[in-house]
Structure 1
Amino acid sequence: MAPRGRPTRLNPDATPTPVANPTTTTSVTSAQLQAMIDEGVTAVLAARATTRNGDDSHTSGTGVRRNERAVRECTYQDFMKCQPLFFRGTEGVVDLTHEKMESVFSISNCPATSQVKFATCTLQDDALTWWNSHVKTTTPEVAHAMPWAALKKMMTDKYCPKGEIKKIETEMWNLKVKGTDVVAYNRRFQQLA
């Protein structure tokens, strides 16, 4: 055997020695190769399908059922755990419009049928008195059946008079940075916006 790294040359007069196990090569076209791959993939998928239930029942293929999270409806406790803001009716327009009620509804998965009932439980003092008088003029069933958008409009009409909104618009137009306190300016701008 010739040392590695050195090329060997055959003697042109010498005949090569036959190899003990000659391998035969078969040429395969691209189409034939693709057909073999497709056949193998189909066989693997068929084998996997026989091990599955076939009913899409959240099994992992091992026979062990995975737990599926059931989405449950929001309760009043779930709603209150999200810490909605309380509204007294004396805070002014900015606090009314900055209620985080929609995000609390979303986080707690509060259904539309419970939104007004839960939201009105956050009313206090003057706002609660206003709501109770509304409930007495209608009925509790009718009052709680209204959509959240309707209650929000009623509260805006009651606690955001046009004069107050005009004052806020004027303050926003005249808002200036005091010294170098850009953070306070930005905070107030966002409140007014």
Structure 2
Amino acid sequence: MPPKKITTPMTDAAIKQLIAQGVADALAEYEANRSSGNGNDSHDSGSGRRTERATRECTYSDFLKCQPLNFKGTEGVVGLTQWFEKMESVFHISKCTIACQIKFATCTLLGSALTWWNSYVKNVGHDAAYGMPWKTLMKMMTAKYCPRSEIKKLEIEIWNLKVKGTDVVSYTQCFKDLALMCGRLVPEESDEVEKYVGGLPDMIQGSVMASKPKTMQDAIEFATKLMDQKIRTFAESQAENKRRLDNNSSDNNAKQPPFKRQNVARAYSAEPSEKKEYELYHCATSASFTITVCAL
């Protein structure tokens, strides 16, 4: 007979200690895997878990590799617009976090622009200055470096902006440039979308409006797609009409009687004797006609 097993019940303290030890072992394993140099939090394939690579935060070196523009404060409205556009592109490409956007962007300021920024940081404090949203910095710099008279001209331009013909691409680029500087006219993205759709041609405006785009990107993509379809349909229709006209022209030429062309060719190719007989007959006929008229 096998010996009888004796089980000793575990106390609550022992159970808690066992759980705590398991948690500690799991955390130690996690830290070991994270610091192993491969940059992931993964287990071997036998565990059945999917390998996931941790996203590396954008560094200032990564930011500079995307070649951001410098801004000195003397470039005017066009220069500031280009700086805004390039900076947003660099944010996207470098995957710059929101927390680092102001810190990295203001490192590209030079000259009077840098002096202005350093003065602002001194007045409000480091945390408040570098903790502001990117849109807030854009509004501050627009107010500082773009005269109100120039902004007024841009606001009038964006208000009257319409698509020329079917060129939605050029319209979109121009609208985006103007919207960057006209924050007072289109303060929210919903206002920007409404104004953008309002400048589209009638042939696609209703469809874009009916789609109720929530973002500018949605509105731009849908408008571009619709216009491409309209242009393609029109081109196909024109090609079909031309093909039908060509076919009808060929059919008409095939059905036309050839005797007229043959008579003309016969008149030019007649022998001199034949031409003489024709002239005599014509004269005789004309003389007969004249005599008859006189007799009457």
Consecutive aligned runs of 4 or more in structure 1 exceeding 2 Å deviation? 52-58, 165-173, 189-193
Query: Which residue does the alignment assign to 1:71?
Result: 55
CA–CA distance in structure 2, aligned partners of residues 142 and 170 of structure 1: 34
Q: Does 1:140 align with 2:133?
A: no
CA–CA distance in structure 2, aligned partners of residues 114 and 87 of structure 1: 18
- The one-letter amino acid of 1:153's match is K
Kept after mapping to 2: 8 A contact 1:94/1:192: no
- The one-letter amino acid of 1:118's match is F
CA deviations 1:143-183 (Å, max 9, x no partner) are: 1111111111111111122212235568898xxxxxxxxxx
Point out where structure 1 has 5 or more consecutive residues left out of the alignment.
Answer: 1-51, 59-67, 174-185
CA–CA distance in structure 1, aligned partners of residues 72 and 106 of structure 2: 11
Q: Does 1:121 align with 2:114?
A: no
Q: How many matched pairs?
A: 125
CA–CA distance in structure 2, aligned partners of residues 171 and 105 of structure 1: 28
CA deviations 1:12-64 (Å, max 9, x no partner) are: xxxxxxxxxxxxxxxxxxxxxxxxxxxxxxxxxxxxxxxx7463334xxxxxx
CA–CA distance in structure 1, aligned partners of residues 53 and 110 of structure 2: 36
> Relative contact order, CA 8 A, sep 6+: which one is greater?
1
CA deviations 1:49-80 (Å, max 9, x no partner) are: xxx7463334xxxxxxxxx5432001111111
CA deviations 1:119-164 (Å, max 9, x no partner) are: 0001111111110110111111211111111111111111122212
Say which of 87, 106, 127 aligns to 2:71: 87
Query: Which residue does the alignment assign to 2:50?
Result: 57
Say which of 147, 159, 164 aligns to 1:161: 147
CA–CA distance in structure 1, aligned partners of residues 155 and 125 of structure 2: 37
Structure with bigger gyration radius? 2
Residue 84 of structure 1 aligns to a residue whose secondary structure is: coil
- The one-letter amino acid of 1:149's match is K
Query: Deviation at 1:117?
Result: 0.5
Point out where structure 2 has 5 or more consecutive residues left out of the alignment.
Answer: 1-44, 161-170, 180-296
Query: Which residue does the alignment assign to 2:93?
Result: 107
CA deviations 1:79-120 (Å, max 9, x no partner) are: 111111111111011111123111111111111111001000
Aligned Cα RMSD in Å? Answer: 3.1
- The one-letter amino acid of 1:132's match is N
The alignment's TM-score, normalised by the length of structure 1, stands at 0.54
